[in-house]
Chain A
């Protein structure tokens, strides 16, 4: 109560109504700076293993000696299978598994995405742990082809050898599943979907044999050919689909075993050389954020993470002196650690940003930056709210504002009633108000319409076949770029929205944007942050209609100047916004990273149909409508 009354005490101050633009600018600034200081020692922490049962690197590993000879033989076997048919390959791999007394089964899968036909076959073997009662299992994955589409010779051979080797141990308290998936993304997805029985029988074959609840998964990516290749470092890949991350304990265990026990250096996010400097850390973190924000599958492990199965991929990089056996011993030690687990991994962090193999920031430290960015939209929308309340030229702080007072009743004109009704819009939707209050119908209808409009490109991109994707992209870019101006023109021609309505349009769109982003920040921090950054100019653009009251200008422009050359300003803002069109941004990003737009779209479509990727939904139903509403509002200034 005391707090509220102090706020009430502040309300007479007219400056409080000028404040919001500066406030949101401050939010954005602080948000970005916050992110930039994270790599400093003061804000990031050294990683540590919280789950006591893991005991990383505490066991002696015995994967040496004659196993090496067998590994070489298996590698030759795998190399012999490269040019054979899928059927034959599966058969042969199954035989090798069977020869080491394991239960073997296969799974066919066939997906259709953007006109392409993804079909292949998984083969997997189950080792019944002698101490296990079929309630828990851990998975060792060797995809036949890795993310770079090279044949994973040594990786698959290593899986085969380890299967034979693990069979001899009597200490396994969990079943071990050895999975050789047809490819690196769809194969594991098909397998894990079928394992949890959430699949469409049309595209996936059910699994004939199963084990218990999956406790963890490790994928090996080691594409060295039949004559071997000595690698330098292990590249630990940990991003899951939709930016979900595995438990940090799994990552830490892998790193501490590889670097501590085996003496193999670990890198992440393709930072091949990392001299613990600020720039390197920041770069690693940003790369991590981008790959998390895209939410694409980054390896065979990615598909497991949405099912709450913690998984990572160990990828060999560089030229060095480590051989396959050291990798095998790393996996052995890692599995011994996982075998010790009494509970499902839950101790350590699930939300983190890694800036080096042994340095991270946890959610508590980094979340504020995204939240601040999201909050800045909310602040502006509240400000626009107040402004719309006073828009109809009664200079009286509307009693609808949070900080407004009970004594604004001396003049209780319809301005406030308007505000009041819109106060109820969160609860009473369109049509009801349509009947009562015309003023609100247009903004709400517009916002709804723009969201529904976003569904159209979403559908088009997910269901266009590959050859036409480029064309579709260009046309849609052109259309979306010109659409706001046309819409503004039509609006001003036919509906001629009052200034209050345009303000409300922007208010609602920003309110929704802030809400979406703050909800998204908890699901996929990076995506929320990136979208927030690209959408932040929407906070400051305003419709420069002629009778703009002085309080509603954007901070950087003095009123006289505004009133003088309104149109040119609007034009510049429109152009600025055109540059911020999501499609233009995506195109620019692809150019920067040297990817072609078509393969990006193909990936996205595959993600949509196979992995259940949600990024494009965010783009088309959160980002694009906000941008559209903002541009229309601005373009309105041209015709007003």
Chain B
């Protein structure tokens, strides 16, 4: 069982690194929590603390402009000791969250859904990284570590997304639906992952059990299950809060963007500078834009649902209202699953160094704008543009690679030849 030893070693080291950082630099968590690149108004840990404080003092946290996160988090975090004095429990929680996420990621890797789903065998499917490597890639990614230290709730969202993917790729319908409903309950936009993951789950189920149920009934059943799960969660929250006002304060904020605190996304500055009369129109357009990717990708890449889901996470990391590097790190940790596509990608180095540059220059420009006062908002805005561009280049490039990969299977005679798109 050398493999398990490796896994234990990996998890041990990862946990050690995190706990060491937590304990060695006690001021680091609060410092990172304040970074706009990591914690957004809808995921910030400081705002969560405020919400918990108000909740424990019988003030409705949603009757205010600070707290925009899901209600069920409140009892969870009110059980933990106050992180201001006894941070260990919280640190442990977030470390465990990361480890579970890595575990789910490795499950995805071990189920061969990435390179060889049911309907499609990639011609390079033997070209892949071991699940250990992929898990390490997630656990030791500096973005993941900073996210874990800064303790935003997007870490939980990521965990649930990964679990739902893992369960879907294993064909475990119930747990997949449950995990996805949790993710969507926390962050709303993961619900867009449902169609591809549903297909993924269907394929996995079909590969396992030779008797495949008709897709339609399968879909209907799971849609109902998802609706039931979400409804249950929302009803539970309403019971907890005593009213439905949390809907407007959580999902309403994600939809309508009243809080324009800077983040790495494209929305905040756009709607800071937008004329009031067009605000609603462009909100609609932007959301439509995000949603529009789902059907297109799902239909065109019917054969590789896992890849569709991965690409969607990448798109969320760029085009949602409150993205943070936590969303980016989710995508960047899922990409290595598709090791077999790398030879077909063309701009890897360019995009990687773009992201690297952006992640260094971004804080510098933010400092110039906010603290030194010598730069203005355009500095930071430009860097968010670059960051988004870099990510979207990777997304597009991997998509190209995937399509090219399919082509190679369809028409083997074209392998290695130059192709055109018409």
Q: Do any beta carbons of A and B sit within 8 angstroms of each other in the complex?
A: yes
Interface string of A79-108 (1 = CB under 8 A from B): 000000000000000000000000000000
- Smallest CB–CB gap between A554 and chain B, Å? 23
**B374 lies within 8 A of A351 (CB):** yes
Residues of chain A from 328 to 350 with CB closer than 8 A to chain B in the complex: 344, 346, 350
A409 at interface (Cβ–Cβ under 8 A)?
yes
Residues of chain A from 422 to 446 with CB closer than 8 A to chain B in the complex: 423-433, 435-436
**B346 lies within 8 A of A399 (CB):** yes
Given contacts A402-B349, A427-B332, A435-B132, contact A417 B343 (CB under 8 A): yes
- Smallest CB–CB gap between B277 and chain A, Å? 28
Cα(A520)–Cα(B349), bound, Å: 22
**B130 lies within 8 A of A435 (CB):** yes
A167 at interface (Cβ–Cβ under 8 A)?
no
**A424 lies within 8 A of B336 (CB):** yes
**A350 lies within 8 A of B140 (CB):** no
**B372 lies within 8 A of A424 (CB):** no
**A429 lies within 8 A of B348 (CB):** no
Query: In the complex, which residues of chain A have a beta carbon less than 8 angstroms from the beta carbon of B371?
Result: 308
User: Which one, A344, A385, A429, A519, contacts B349 given CB within 8 A?
Assistant: A385
**A308 lies within 8 A of B373 (CB):** yes
Interface string of A178-208 (1 = CB under 8 A from B): 0000000000000000000000000000000
**B140 lies within 8 A of A511 (CB):** no
- Smallest CB–CB gap between B5 and chain A, Å? 13
Given contacts A350-B373, A350-B375, A405-B418, contact A429 B140 (CB under 8 A): yes
**A435 lies within 8 A of B343 (CB):** no
A618 at interface (Cβ–Cβ under 8 A)?
no
Instruction: Look across to chain A and name the residue whose beta carbon is closest to the beta carbon of B129.
Output: A436
**B133 lies within 8 A of A346 (CB):** no
**B372 lies within 8 A of A244 (CB):** yes
User: Which one, B13, B141, B361, B372, contacts A519 given CB within 8 A?
Assistant: B361
**B404 lies within 8 A of A406 (CB):** yes
**A428 lies within 8 A of B364 (CB):** no
A518 at interface (Cβ–Cβ under 8 A)?
yes
Cα(A432)–Cα(B374), bound, Å: 40
Cα(A450)–Cα(B34), bound, Å: 30
**B352 lies within 8 A of A427 (CB):** yes
Interface string of A512-542 (1 = CB under 8 A from B): 0001101110110000000000000000000
Query: In the complex, which residues of chain B have a beta carbon less than 8 angstroms from the beta carbon of A399?
Result: 343-346
Chain A CB within 10 Å — which of B141, B345, B346, B418 has the most?
A: B346
Query: In the complex, which residues of chain A have a beta carbon less than 8 angstroms from the beta carbon of B355?
Result: 426-427
Instruction: Look across to chain B and name the residue whose beta carbon is closest to the beta carbon of A433.
Output: B133
B257 at interface (Cβ–Cβ under 8 A)?
no
Chain B interface, >50% SS class: helix
Instruction: Look across to chain A and name the residue whose beta carbon is closest to the beta carbon of B401.
Output: A406
Query: In the complex, which residues of chain B have a beta carbon less than 8 angstroms from the beta carbon of A265?
Result: none
Cα(A523)–Cα(B134), bound, Å: 36
Query: In the complex, which residues of chain A have a beta carbon less than 8 angstroms from the beta carbon of B289?
Result: none
- Smallest CB–CB gap between A280 and chain B, Å? 27
Interface string of B323-367 (1 = CB under 8 A from A): 000000000100110000011111111101101110011001101
- Smallest CB–CB gap between B158 and chain A, Å? 16
Cα(A426)–Cα(B342), bound, Å: 14
For chain B, the count of residues having a C-beta within 8 Å of the partner chain is 48
Given contacts A432-B137, A435-B133, A519-B360, contact A405 B346 (CB under 8 A): yes
A286 at interface (Cβ–Cβ under 8 A)?
no
**B416 lies within 8 A of A407 (CB):** yes
A404 at interface (Cβ–Cβ under 8 A)?
yes
**B141 lies within 8 A of A427 (CB):** yes
**B418 lies within 8 A of A406 (CB):** yes
Given contacts A515-B360, A523-B364, contact A426 B353 (CB under 8 A): yes
Query: In the complex, which residues of chain B have a beta carbon less than 8 angstroms from the beta carbon of A429?
Result: 137, 140-142
Cα(A431)–Cα(B11), bound, Å: 12
- Smallest CB–CB gap between A444 and chain B, Å? 12
Instruction: Look across to chain A and name the residue whose beta carbon is closest to the beta carbon of B379.
Output: A522
A416 at interface (Cβ–Cβ under 8 A)?
yes
Instruction: Look across to chain A and name the residue whose beta carbon is closest to the beta carbon of B142.
Output: A429
Cα(A401)–Cα(B348), bound, Å: 8
Cα(A369)–Cα(B373), bound, Å: 23
Residues of chain A from 462 to 485 with CB closer than 8 A to chain B in the complex: none
A319 at interface (Cβ–Cβ under 8 A)?
no
B417 at interface (Cβ–Cβ under 8 A)?
yes
- Smallest CB–CB gap between B366 and chain A, Å? 11
Query: In the complex, which residues of chain A have a beta carbon less than 8 angstroms from the beta carbon of B356?
Result: 426, 511, 515
**A523 lies within 8 A of B343 (CB):** no
Query: In the complex, which residues of chain A have a beta carbon less than 8 angstroms from the beta carbon of B347?
Result: 402
A306 at interface (Cβ–Cβ under 8 A)?
yes
B419 at interface (Cβ–Cβ under 8 A)?
yes
Query: In the complex, which residues of chain A have a beta carbon less than 8 angstroms from the beta carbon of B361?
Result: 518-519, 522
**A406 lies within 8 A of B419 (CB):** yes
Cα(A429)–Cα(B352), bound, Å: 12
* Residues in chain A within 8 A of chain B (CB atoms): 244-245, 306, 308, 344, 346, 350-351, 378, 382, 385, 399-402, 404-407, 409-410, 412, 416-417, 420-421, 423-433, 435-436, 511, 515-516, 518-520, 522-523
Task: Provide a sorted-by-A list of 21 A–B residue pairs whose CB atoms are within 8 angstroms.
Answer: A244-B372, A308-B371, A308-B372, A346-B373, A350-B372, A350-B374, A407-B418, A409-B416, A426-B355, A426-B356, A428-B336, A430-B140, A433-B133, A435-B6, A435-B132, A435-B133, A511-B353, A519-B360, A519-B361, A520-B364, A522-B364
* Residues in chain B within 8 A of chain A (CB atoms): 6, 13, 127, 129-130, 132-134, 136-137, 140-142, 332, 335-336, 342-350, 352-353, 355-357, 360-361, 364-365, 367-368, 371-375, 379, 404, 415-419
Extra contacts besides A400-B349, A405-B418, A435-B130 (12): CB < 8 Å: A306-B372, A308-B372, A350-B374, A399-B344, A399-B345, A406-B419, A417-B127, A427-B352, A428-B141, A435-B132, A511-B353, A518-B357
